[in-house]
Amino acid sequence: MKKIIETQVLIIGGGATGTGIARDLSLRGLNVILIEKQDLNAGASGGNHGLLHSGARYVCSDHEAAVECNNELNIIKRTAGHCVEETGGFFVAVCGDDEKYIADFPGMCRAAGIPFKSVDVTDARQMERSLSEKIIAVYEVNDASINPFKLSIENMNDAVSMGGQYFSYCMLQAVEMENKKVCYAKIQNRISNEIFYIKADTYVNASGAWAGRIAELAGIPINMVFSKGSLLVTSKRITKRVINRLRKAADGDILVPGGAVSILGTTSVRVDSPDNIFPTVDEVDRIITEGEKMIPLLKTCRYVRAYSGVRPLVSKGNNDDREVSRGFTLIDHEKDGVDNLVTITGGKLSTYRLMAEKTSDIICKKHGIISKCQTKHIVLPSTKSGEWSEPGLHITESVTRESRHDPILCECEIVPATAIDTIIRSIKNNKGKPDLTSIALRSRVGKGPCQGSFCSTRILSHMYNTGELTHAAGINDLRKFLNERWKGEQSLLWDQAIVQSSLKEMIHCGLFGLELETQ
Amino acid sequence: MKDKQTISCDLLIIGAGFAGMVAAARASSLGLKTVQVGNSSTLFLVSGLFDLLGVYPITSGQSLHSPATGLERLRIDNSRHPYSKTGYIKILESLNFLKFFLAAAGLDYQSNNNENYLVLTAAGTFKPSFMVPKTFIKGCGIKQGSKRLLLIDFNGLREFSAKQIANVIQDAGSDVSVLTIEIPAVSSTLNPIQLANLFEDIQFLKFLSKKISPFSKKTDLVGFPAVCGLNKSLETIGKLEEMTGLDCFEIPGMPPSLPGLRLKNAFEKQLSQNNVIFLNNSKIESHEFKNHQFILNAATQNMNTQITTKGVILASGRFPGCGLHAKRELITETVFNLPVFQPETRNKWYHLNFFNPEGHAINQAGLETDDAFRPVAQNNAPAFKTLYAVGSILAHNDWVRLKSGSGVSCVTAYSAVNDFYNSVSGRDTNV
């Protein structure tokens, strides 16, 4: 017999948009289930700068996007303030940058209603001491940084508190159609391999870069274009503010502070698929070469990690991907002959709430509900329940000293054994399988300078000691974890980092022989 | 103002890792006036196992039973590997020299009739190695054997779990029990060196054997993390065996490595007896070569030493030892700025798969030498007549993957010193 779960709305995709829709619809009284094939923010929502745009970035290329960003920035600051750091931002031009762009910028900002202030170059270098002495113009704007992991977790938590449900590691396999409607979604739990069905009145495809694949299951073509952007994480925070290059969008021209680190990006590389993407050496070099023009320290500072995200763009031509509007695409598939399916894709983190609002409006219309969006006004609650148990939270902030019988297992990021146990319990509660990789997703484990060389073995030992691991499973787990971290570090290995990676290979290959088949 | 001193010697050894130590051992044994600069604390990072050739070819993904067989193939496949400039007999001779040198300091090693041992590691995996500390020997047959095993771990020794090893090796059919020792007065973490110090205390050994005694009927062999004492580890293991009536052995694991520290202590003890002058923590800041002599400046925080020497052994290691330095665009050699064999561009340094079975191209990078291990300049002739490069800085030797680190370091250091000795003394070490 088929296992069938019923709900009013099924949302496919656990990024910022999907979780935003889950909350929006829940606030409007609809019952929702969200499924995610991996974990929250596994796609572009986790692979970006964490930048809340003031809109100034888009004033010259996309007036509408600029206005949207500015409006959303103010709403998000007001309603999700605990996920935002109001850093402020600079737009800086360096000697040799396009003078027409620099001259046009204030007028364009004014036209879009975006607040800005001209700053004297000398003053700017006092305010941000790492700025290059070759800076020739500076404008101050309201950019902010946002923790996208926290944002999605809180949105999902709020939806769950109103009766919504979240299924992680559950992948849509097929849809069954009847009378121009989707009637069932066939879903596979990727951990237990169990197949089950969700029957909903309406379905939302919020799968970002994977939107084309999901629509295809309903027989609808969407021509997606994938633009990979790579970002570098510095080992220390470099500036107080967001620093943007004052020029037409290009590689390596935004530096965003996020807590104790800074994130430098990005690139724009057309890729064939949104899966298995990673930063390359060439991208890293391009990013640093451009970044150091604004901030010379970026040439010599240590980078601890690199990662990539894919901008999901709906193809409209063959322009440079950054020229394609960063506005979002909302499709009611009624026009394609599927009455109860809606796709939302494209856009950017800064406008996630607006995307959720517009999508929810269509869904409500389909349900015959007249209900206004509430996310503009109702503050997103800050939940404590997920402190350690969800991705991206900085465990370091909560624990500062080692207590008796609670050894620190990750010394770079100060993660104690009890935190690991909490995380393991929470993974099990979400029907997930605790292993080094899933623990790392939910904590800072392995993200410090040692890149998991030491903490991996300590956590593995701990998991064997507590009976979480048996047989030789931990050895494969260790391999998988180290390889996953490696993808983020292999393009960044020089200077001190190469010393660390040499040591890692000495221990895990030289001594433990993990590369050998016979182990 | 820094203090200044001048020293003249026959041979300067740059580097105090494993290769530098062997070079200093050989040089001082031959009676050369030897000065050594470097930082010996890198020996905390070595496992203490002497590998010769544990895997060949690299892509085989298998442990090699007999290094001699692998070596034959290696010499055919790769004429540029350091082993191809020497022979199996020479490698054994150098390891034998080392074995006796260390034995004199009370650190005993043993090899296995020209075959590799399979050494149980803290991960639960088995590592092929050629010559191992005697305290490891009884654990080396576990993989084939049918002995009943008891594995000990210590509360607070975070990187070592007896349960983990037991679980991993149980799949291979071993009969394993585990015992966690709670040490009173230890809160949450235990440093391996603190623990090793405890093992030097007879009361602690009595405490341990009391804990172990309930297992004596169901156990043949007891495995400990490699922390059984600092300098008298073999004696300590012997006492434990006597008290428990069971065979005991050590299991190597994460750094800081006690077997590495024991090596450091043994080398330092013997080298100081052999009157090697060791300038600890010093760094060569400049060098020149005139009138058949090198003049180098070695600096520490408060001392500049001018060293005049007839020959130099460069045993400065790779990236961790700072013998090589990787910039974003180039790998350089840090003391003499010698040409470094390396991949054309950085995007060829590493594979995307950390465990790629071919190994990473950057691990083939390093110094190329003539047959006497003298690094060559751009013109392929030796850069200096009496400058030698030994150990992991040498190119074409992915020692981590081949499990050949100690063997290459030992034989290259030994051979280079011999060659230097022969060239300056007119005598022949082979006679």
- Cα B123 to Cα B115: distance, rounded to the nearest angstrom: 23
Domain ranges of chain B: 3-105+261-425, 122-251
Q: How much is the pLDDT for A323?
A: 53
Strands annotated E in A299-429:
303-314, 328-332, 341-346, 408-410, 415-416
Q: Do the Cβ atoms of B167 and A471 come within 8 Å?
A: yes
Q: How much is the pLDDT for B16?
A: 96
- CA dihedral sign, ordered A46, A47, A53, A55: negative
Task: Report the run of H or E that residue A305 belongs to, with start and end.
Answer: strand A303-314
Which amino acid would we find at residue A155? N
Q: How much is the pLDDT for A432?
A: 73
Q: Do the Cβ atoms of A494 and B357 come within 8 Å?
A: no
- Residue to mutate among B120, B158, B325, B399, with most A CBs inside 10 A, is B158
Q: How much is the pLDDT for A319?
A: 55
| Cα distances (Å, whole numbers) of residue B110 to B54, B116, B373 | 16, 11, 28
Q: How much is the pLDDT for A153?
A: 87
Which of B168, B326, B355 lies at the smallest CB-CB distance from A474? B168
Place of tokens 């991705």: A391
List the structure tokens of A203.
């379905």
Q: Do the Cβ atoms of A513 and B171 come within 8 Å?
A: no
Do you find a cis peptide bond into B57, omega within 30 degrees of 0? yes
Q: How much is the pLDDT for B2?
A: 82
- Cα A315 to Cα A223: distance, rounded to the nearest angstrom: 6
A79 φ/ψ angles, rounded to the nearest 5 degrees:
-100, -20
Given CB atoms, is B290 within the 8 Å cutoff of chain A?
A: no
Q: Do the Cβ atoms of A512 and B47 come within 8 Å?
A: no
Q: Tell me which DSSP letter residue A509 carries.
A: I
Contact A71, A350 (CB under 8 A): no
**CATH number 1.20.810.10 given to B3-105+261-425:** no
CATH of domain B122-251: 3.40.50
Q: How much is the pLDDT for B165?
A: 95
Give A280's contacts in chain B (Cβ within 8 Å): 347
pLDDT in tens, B121-177: 999 999 999 999 999 999 987 876 678 999 999 988 999 999 999 999 987 677 899
A265 burial level (CB within 10 Å; 0-12, 13-18, 19+): buried
- Residue to mutate among A406, A500, A511, A519, with most B CBs inside 10 A, is A511
Which of B160, B189, B353 lies at the smallest CB-CB distance from A407? B189
Which amino acid would we find at residue A257? P
Q: How much is the pLDDT for A406?
A: 83
Give B406's contacts in chain A (Cβ within 8 Å): none
- Cα B245 to Cα A276: distance, rounded to the nearest angstrom: 56
Which of B156, B254, B319 lies at the smallest CB-CB distance from A502? B319
Give B160's contacts in chain A (Cβ within 8 Å): 461
Which of B125, B349, B357 lies at the smallest CB-CB distance from A512? B125
Contact B179, B211 (CB under 8 A): yes
Q: How much is the pLDDT for A324?
A: 57
Q: How much is the pLDDT for A316?
A: 65
List the structure tokens of A9.
């709305």
Beta pairing, strands A195-205 & A341-346? parallel
Q: For chain B, what is the radius of gyration of the CA atoms?
A: 22
Q: Do the Cβ atoms of A282 and B45 come within 8 Å?
A: no
Give A290's contacts in chain B (Cβ within 8 Å): none
Of the candidates B71, B53, B73, B72, which has an alpha carbon nearest to the alpha carbon of residue B63? B53
Supply the DSSP string of A26-40, one letter for each residue: HHTT--EEEE-SSST
Give B47's contacts in chain A (Cβ within 8 Å): 510-511
Averages of pLDDT over runs of 10 residues in chain B (431 residues) are 91 97 98 95 93 96 95 95 96 98 97 94 96 95 80 93 93 84 82 93 95 93 96 94 96 95 96 96 93 94 94 97 95 97 96 96 98 95 97 97 97 98 85 55
pLDDT in tens, B69-90: 999 999 999 999 999 999 999 9
- Residue to mutate among A461, A480, A483, with most B CBs inside 10 A, is A461
User: What does each of the 519 residues of chain A score in pLDDT, given as a tens digit?
Assistant: 789 999 999 999 999 999 999 999 999 999 999 999 988 888 999 899 999 999 999 999 889 999 999 999 999 999 999 999 999 999 999 999 999 999 999 999 999 999 999 999 999 999 999 999 999 999 999 999 999 988 998 999 999 999 999 998 899 999 999 999 999 999 999 888 999 999 999 999 999 999 999 999 999 999 899 999 999 999 899 999 999 999 999 999 999 998 888 999 999 999 999 998 999 999 999 999 999 999 999 999 999 899 999 999 887 655 555 555 567 999 999 999 999 999 999 999 999 999 999 999 999 999 999 889 999 999 999 875 444 433 333 433 344 444 557 888 888 778 889 888 988 887 787 667 888 988 887 777 887 778 889 999 999 999 999 999 999 999 999 999 999 999 999 999 999 999 999 999 999 999 999 999 865
Given CB atoms, is B184 within the 8 Å cutoff of chain A?
A: no
pLDDT in tens, B310-357: 999 999 999 999 999 999 999 999 999 999 999 999 999 999 999 999
Q: How much is the pLDDT for A260?
A: 85
Q: How much is the pLDDT for A320?
A: 56
- Cα B16 to Cα B267: distance, rounded to the nearest angstrom: 10
